Structure 1
């Protein structure tokens, strides 16, 4: 790392109890996937993973690491769990202190920032161009900066609308095509189900936190209105649409779902993905914007919902839209074990492992051959597969992750402080233009 740049998971259910017993914590608080091997020649690689903070993803990822270590007894794998919403801060802090692990979770939103910090190894050289031809080309492009692969794309979670298919059928509702359909369904499915005079079921599980999780969901709504938080104009200069009438309309619609229509459960500004998924699992909400990983999360909490969760592309105002929702691992430029880490990452995306991970977590694989082998025409997955055709590429802007906070601050100020759309979008546009100017 440059100093001047840095200041059918078939065996799972049978083996899970043994895996959990083996996955103790070491003295540093890191989750160890390996057993007590104690070999002096053993190489330990540290991996910072957001999957470790989720279920069923965390135990499943450890089980996969265990299988790799059985094949490679000279390797010991330790996991450092970090919530997705803390990932960027954690990477930055560890980079600044010179304590980056060998590999860490990466997203397209942060990849350019990490590249600018000089902390990510170029995976083209480590993995080879021939090997990378096995992946969907647009996914490799989305995982690269200036032609250099910044992270191996492990899985894709395109944004779509998940909804209770059984509830929609009972109410005679159609799958939402546009935001008018969505609002009609949300209002009809917000009700008092036990007759005590209080609402106990809501139409929409809104993720309203001020972080990347909330912002990414709102940005797909924003773009469905034809608004781009960041784009290049005809002269090739970066500009923002956050001060346009269409942006104000998108923000107002989003906020009104809570403040005006009441189709959102209380506490929306503190509702992140885990809370929203739990609300759906406990039959409290009918719809949520999310990636296919939510299917596995929700069903793991409530198996009775298997087959009752449907998906459609994000409703449109002027168009449908989606993010690729890519997640993968970067290898630290400072790692002394790059070849070993690269070999493990290749193991993670082998065909059978990728298919098993899809079945377990709901996330889509990133390799062409695996995608061709999937059965994804079910109501659960159809909307996510359809959404891929509407996915947009994250702008190639070094500080793009700041735009997540910009839009999140705006919608939270409207929800919690009753700030007007005019005031909120003006501040958002001002902040956006400051970031654009500072990046020149």
Structure 2
């Protein structure tokens, strides 16, 4: 059989519990390039396995950031937000009735309230100092209240509770929203639509800071009969020429600090913003309940909260019970 394979962090507990992947600790400890990988990313690898060991070698990521329209910022007289408070203020100031008919034409923030929206939502929770370990803390609830308030105050489209990926991108491209959250995978389409009138910045923080990370890693099978050679291959893909080639061709974000500094990555505005966000990028807890929580519990609970059927505190209690039941 194969010696190595690509894998996702979400699959880690299943494969580790069945002893199918090799523990990489001893290989990494003697690997000369291990410090090329950010400590936060190593922590994410360990957290995914629910152990103190690493079973996945980082390969490439996709880091969520905030797309914005420079022309709209200029018209509103604001600069790129550096803090969470400035970001919330920008959502208000970018919301406009452009033709004077008494109705909002441009919303400050393109909110994703449907499936997949848990990723940008997490940035609000952690900006207030909340964590995913306990959604019911006052700090986490405060982040949830900020999210609700953007909708209630009319700074996000009224369709937000049902807006998924297609809707937030369409709203942004049509000029209906001034900011939205996604990753470098949508940058080519943004440039096709706006040319130079689109840019991005990392989601700002305050008491805390977090953004969501999409990932593809590599693993070594325990059944491999060529483990030293297999690790050399994993290392080549993580920090060697394989890392440069793969990320250059696919447009994914490098995990190697040395590769991140290369001109072809630093000279791309969306790649550069992705790299800036990488040190505080992470994932949700990988539990047996995570899939259902993401696909059903989170969107249903958020819809109820945005529509005023439950409070921020009640919503967070439901989200806590759903993920940690």
Q: Using the TM superposition, give the Cα deviation of residue 278 of structure 1 relative to its aligned residue in structure 2, in angstroms.
A: 3.5
- Choose from 144, 154, 160 the match for 2:59: 154
- Choose from 426, 429, 434 the match for 2:317: 426
Q: Which moved more, 1:405-414 or 1:214-223?
A: 405-414
Q: Which runs of 5+ in 1 are unaligned?
A: 1-42, 46-101, 231-239, 436-440
Q: What is the Cα-based RMSD across aligned positions, in Å?
A: 4.1
Aligned to 1:415: 306
Matched residue SS, 1:419: coil
1:232-243 matches, within 5 Å, as 240=134, 242-243=135-136
Aligned to 1:136: 37
1:150-199 CA distances to partner (integer Å, 9 max, x unpaired)? 33422233343332223212321121233442233223322344667654
Q: Take 2:6 and 2:17, find their aligned partners in 1: how far apart are those partners?
A: 14
Aligned to 1:166: 71
| Mapped pair 1:249 → 2:142 | yes
Aligned to 1:289: 181
Q: Take 2:201 and 2:95, find their aligned partners in 1: how far apart are those partners?
A: 20
Q: Using the TM superposition, give the Cα deviation of residue 225 of structure 1 relative to its aligned residue in structure 2, in angstroms.
A: 0.8
Q: CA 1:424–1:114 in structure 2 vs 1: closer, same or farther (change >3 Å)?
A: same
1:197-236 CA distances to partner (integer Å, 9 max, x unpaired)? 65443211112124xx321221221111111121xxxxxx
- Choose from 132, 152, 160 the match for 1:229: 132
Q: Kindly tell me the number of residue pairs found equivalent between the two proteins.
A: 315
**Which is higher, the Rg of structure 1 or of structure 2?**
1
Q: Take 1:152 and 1:270, find their aligned partners in 2: how far apart are those partners?
A: 36
1:81-92 matches, within 5 Å, as none
Q: Take 1:202 and 1:359, find their aligned partners in 2: how far apart are those partners?
A: 35
Q: Is the 8 A contact 2:38 2:279 kept in 1?
A: no
1:349-376 CA distances to partner (integer Å, 9 max, x unpaired)? 5756644655566532012331232442
- Choose from 401, 415, 421 the match for 2:290: 401
Q: Is the 8 A contact 2:110 2:168 kept in 1?
A: yes
1:316-327 matches, within 5 Å, as 316-323=205-212, 325-327=213-215
Q: Take 1:134 and 1:222, find their aligned partners in 2: how far apart are those partners?
A: 30
- Choose from 207, 217, 236 the match for 2:112: 207
Q: Using the TM superposition, give the Cα deviation of residue 414 of structure 1 relative to its aligned residue in structure 2, in angstroms.
A: 0.5
Matched residue SS, 1:263: coil
Aligned to 2:8: 106
Q: Which moved more, 1:125-134 or 1:403-412?
A: 125-134
Looking at both structures, which has the greater relative contact order when contacts are Cα pairs under 8 Å and sequence separation is at least 6? 2
TM-score (norm 1): 0.58
Q: Take 2:125 and 2:208, find their aligned partners in 1: how far apart are those partners?
A: 10
